Amino acid sequence: MHVAIYARVSTNNAQNPEVQQRELREYCQRRGWDIAQEYVDVGVSGTKERRPELDRLLKDARHRFFDAVVVWRFDRFARSVSHLLRALEDFRSLGIEFISLSEQVDTSTPTGKMVFTVLGAVAELERSLIVERVRAGLRNARAKGKRLGRPPLVAQPEVISQMRSQGASWRVIGKAIGVSPATALCTAARARKGRLGNPNNLPMVSDSN
């Protein structure tokens, strides 16, 4: 079987990726696997989902350059459970196995497949908890009388009237004061209604007018 090994260290000088690479090479040798390629990110934080060598590994995986990916530990490869799960789902769709040496997880075995299922359930639980926390926060804010959503835009009738008298279109006026053309028109109409008492004397909105 042809495999790819992936290693990562967060700093350039304090850590040496060779420690991970050596153990991964020895493991592959014991299993009788051929190492097709080694991917090593040095000085790259694990909080970053996009990494040069990891991106290259994922690209090569789509071309089926190897049959399995071997890592030293989960946190060397993925930044979160959801990130790990997405990668494992991609590998599974491509027919590529995933092995983590420290956790002794191999998705080609029944136990490894069970771990994959558990990870999926954990990720789903994580998403559900986040959604519920957001909903609880919204309910609490409403109960306290807080107004939710974007703050209302305050149109400026005097500015609208001045720009309109200078021949500006509703689109130009709306863009200038940060509202839609329709809002600018309605503001002008309300101001005119207040001055003239004529609710039917409404201007027509168009791109050119």
Please state, in angstroms and rounded to a whole number, the distance separating the CA atoms of residues 25 and 205.
71
Question: Taking the alpha carbons of 155, 160, 163, 167 in that order, is the dihedral positive or negative?
Answer: positive
Alpha-helix runs per DSSP H in 32-109: 52-62, 74-77, 81-94
Q: Which two tokens stand for residue 86?
A: 């997405």
Name the residue type at position 109: T
* Inter-residue contact 44 to 15 (CB < 8 Å): no
H or E element, residue 128:
helix 110-143
> Residue 177 phi/psi, 5° resolution?
-105, 0
Q: Which two tokens stand for residue 168?
A: 């500006």
Please state, in angstroms and rounded to a whole number, the distance separating the CA atoms of residues 173 and 85.
49
Q: Which two tokens stand for residue 176?
A: 């200038």
Question: What is the three-class DSSP state of 130?
Answer: helix
* Residues with catalytic function: 10
Q: Which two tokens stand for residue 94?
A: 């491509």
